[in-house]
Amino acid sequence: MYKFSFIGSGNMAEALIKGLLQQPGMQPGDVLCCDTDTQRLQLLQERYGNLATSTAALDALQAQVTILSVKPPFIGAVAAEISQGAGPDNLIVSVAAGIPLSYLERQLPGCKIIRAMPNTAALVGAGVTAYTPNAQVSAEERQQVQEFFSGVGLACELPEAQLDVVTALSGGGPAYLCLVAEALSDAGVRLGLPRAAASSLAAQVLAGTGKMIQSSAEHPAVLRENVCSPGGTTIEGVAVLEEHAVRGAFMQAVEAAHTKAQQLGELYESHDR
Ligand SMILES: NC(=O)C1=CN([C@@H]2O[C@H](COP(=O)(O)OP(=O)(O)OC[C@H]3O[C@@H](n4cnc5c(N)ncnc54)[C@H](OP(=O)(O)O)[C@@H]3O)[C@@H](O)[C@H]2O)C=CC1
Ligand SMILES: O=C(O)[C@@H]1CCC=N1
């Protein structure tokens, strides 16, 4: 019996696998990766050692926890494939954006199912995941899933109605902040810094500020004020960001992603496959 299996071994699965393998006691052989792309499976073995692999999704049921990590449009096909073997003994975690528990329950009747939304920062053990279990999941299994996701960052159980917001905020969050890192690095290069120096400064600013926000008792607004000296340099930059309505842009970005997650969900509420 494997500890974890993944159906769909792409970017999100890899982030979780890399994070998991950094935990004490976890061996590559504890993880089964299933994917239709054999080159991808080979690449993961080159990167992470002796992971078990298979091209048959059904094999993934030979694990304590099976993670569905294919793109939303493939969830129906994968569920159909594993429904022949899945039953009340299987604990299935879907990380697919938008796909409601009710749809998964219709495809995999009787199974213990968790809908979860992690992010790719799991890769460095600094992810964040919110999840909702269905009624079949016991308290002990909830704890198992909590431990699984908290091994690769923060984890919390939330009502399913909030998962589309989580998808938009923290699921997609690394993309928004990578874009900020790129923009800061480009700005440095534009002003004459070598690319490597500009990129490393930008990355450290993001990492350091994140740490500071998390560890400080102060509101982010106060931490920002602490940087803006009266009549100084930073307030000039902040004024430009405000002129370009950057806060509004971030809010609209999260709202657009939320709308998309809801649209995906509506599609699956009304379709059987
Ligand atoms: N990327 C992210 O930041 C996050 C993603 N998610 C969710 O994770 C899921 C996966 O996303 P992501 O990792 O980015 O996607 P990827 O495309 O990187 O990975 C999906 C993998 O599944 C494979 N695949 C497709 N069909 C099947 C099948 N029938 N059986 C087995 N494997 C199959 C794909 O192969 P091929 O490429 O050949 O099609 C691909 O290797 C999505 O549902 C997404 O919503 C959730 C949170 C964050
Ligand atoms: O973009 C997506 O649909 C997925 C879900 C959250 C992050 N990536």
- pLDDT score recorded for residue 195: 98
- In this structure, the answer to whether residues 14 and 140 fall within a common structural domain is yes
What is the predicted pLDDT for the residue at 273? 53
For the chain, what is the domain count?
2
Q: Which of 5, 7, 11 to mutate to test the pocket of ligand 1 (most atoms within 8 A of CB)?
A: 11
Residue 119 Cβ < 6 Å to ligand 1? yes
Sign of CA dihedral 85, 89, 94, 98: positive
Q: What is the pLDDT of residue 77?
A: 95
pLDDT string in tens for the chain (273-residue length): 999 999 999 999 999 999 889 888 999 999 999 999 999 999 999 999 999 999 999 999 999 999 999 999 999 999 999 999 998 999 999 999 999 999 999 999 999 999 999 999 999 999 999 999 999 999 999 999 999 999 999 999 999 999 999 999 999 999 999 999 999 999 999 999 999 999 999 999 999 999 999 999 999 999 999 999 999 999 999 999 999 999 999 999 999 999 999 999 988 876 655
pLDDT of residue 272: 59
User: Do 196 and 149 belong together in one domain?
Assistant: no
118 and 239 housed in the same domain: no
Residue 269 within any structural domain of the chain: no
Domain that holds residue 190: 173-257
Q: Is residue 179 part of a domain?
A: yes
Beta bridge partners of 114: 93, 133
154 and 25 fall within a common domain: yes
Place of tokens 């071994």: 9
Feature table: binding site: 7-12
One-letter identity of residue 219: H
- Are 82 and 192 in a shared domain? no
CA of residue 195 to ligand 2 center, whole Å: 29
Under 8 Å CB-to-CB from 33, ≥6 apart: which residues?
A: 5, 6, 9, 13, 17, 41, 44, 51, 52, 53, 54
Q: How far apart are the first and last CA of the chain?
A: 29
- The pLDDT of residue 45 is 97
Q: Summarize pLDDT for 100-126 with one digit per residue, the tens.
A: 999 999 999 999 999 999 999 999 999
One domain, residues 56 and 148: yes
We report the CATH number of the domain holding residue 217 as: 1.10.3730.10
